[in-house]
Amino acid sequence: MNSLDGKVALVTGASRGIGRAIAHQLAGRGALVIAAARGDNARGTVDAIAAAGGRAEPLTLEVTDADAAVAAVQGIATRHGRLDILVSNAGITRDQLMLRMKRSDWDDVIATNLTAAFVLCQAALKPMIRQRAGRIIAISSVVGQMGNAGQANYAASKAGLIGFCKSLAREVGSRQVTVNVVAPGFVATDMTGAVDAATQAGWAAQIPLGRLGTPDDIAAAVCFLASDEASYITGQVLAVNGGMYT
């Protein structure tokens, strides 16, 4: 079970929802988890991991601040001597129908969901290439695969992550760094919590497995891709969506 003993993992968006579950499960498998969020928001995740006997430290990071992101990755590599796993999970929505979408709704979503992943991956590749080992896992969305009315900005950012990771996988495979994407379906978190119960019931009715996903469903897929068992898997999109899109 402790297949990630000795690994150092950075998880963005680790204060709640999917990122918090990923941080917990990675730590439960033995990794030292750097749990990142804005302000002191990841403190609760770190305390809960410590209470469960795992190892974690909080990191204050606004992912759209490129200089801060690069410095954060360099700091981890300096403090711990390595960085084995990057989970680029922080993400936002700014939903609006296209004709009403503001340019800032587009820019904010692309900056947080896509450009921040580019910056973090570029920084993380330096220690990973030096180590001749690494795991990069980006959290996309079923919406990036199938599209969704009212989410043109979000779908573009999440589809962009897929093309980005597939390209990166081809560039760094020779250094034994794998790059994969997890594409969740609808998952019960703060992000979906803003949607009314009737809409959520409508989603569940379209899902062959009959329910929304849980953060732990997504975290289990991330842990698999981070493990040694997944060392021959790269450039893939692992859909964790209850069968709603195949």
Catalytic residues: 154
Question: Parallel, antiparallel, or unpaired: how do β-strands 177-184 and 237-240 relate?
Answer: parallel
Answer yes or no whether residue 25 interacts with ligand NAP by CB under 6 A: no
Binding residue for ligand NAP (CB under 6 A) from 25, 145, 178, 189?
Answer: 189
CB 88, min distance to ligand NAP, A? 8
Q: Please count the residues of the chain.
A: 246
Binding to ligand NAP by CB under 6 A, coded x per residue (else -) over 69-108, reads: --------------------xxxx----------------
CB neighbour list of residue 138: distance below 8 Å, 6 or more residues apart: 87, 88, 117, 121, 161, 164, 165, 179, 180, 181, 182
Give the total of residues touching ligand NAP (CB under 6 A).
29
Give dist(CA 37, CA 91) in Å, integer.
Answer: 11
User: Look-up: residue for tokens 């929802």?
Assistant: 17
Question: Three-state SS for 65?
Answer: coil
Tokens of 87: 């989970």
Q: Across the chain, how many H-helices and E-strands are there?
A: 10, 7
- Chosen residue from 68, 70, 110, 191 binding ligand NAP by CB under 6 A: 191
- Of positions 162, 177, 187, 221, contacts ligand NAP by CB under 6 A: 187
Q: Which is nearer to ligand NAP, 16 or 80 (CB)?
A: 16
Query: Would you count residue 68 as binding ligand NAP (CB under 6 A)?
Result: no
Q: Which position among 19, 28, 127, 134 is part of the footprint of ligand NAP (CB under 6 A)?
A: 19
Site string for ligand NAP, 42-61 (x = CB under 6 A): -------------------x
190-224 b/e (C-beta count within 10 Å ≥ 16 → b): ebbeeeeeeeeeebeeebeeeebbebebbbebbbb
CB of 50 vs ligand NAP, minimal distance in Å = 18
Q: Which of 160, 186, 238, 239 lies at the binding interface for ligand NAP (CB under 6 A)? A: 186
Q: Which of 184, 221, 234, 238 binds ligand NAP (CB under 6 A)?
A: 184
Quick one: which H or E segment has residue 36?
A: strand 32-37
Do the beta carbons of residue 14 and residue 35 sit within 8 Å?
A: yes
Q: Closer to ligand NAP by CB, 83 or 187: give it.
A: 187
Binding interface with ligand NAP (CB under 6 A): 12-19, 37-38, 41, 61-64, 89-92, 112, 139, 141, 184, 186-187, 189-192
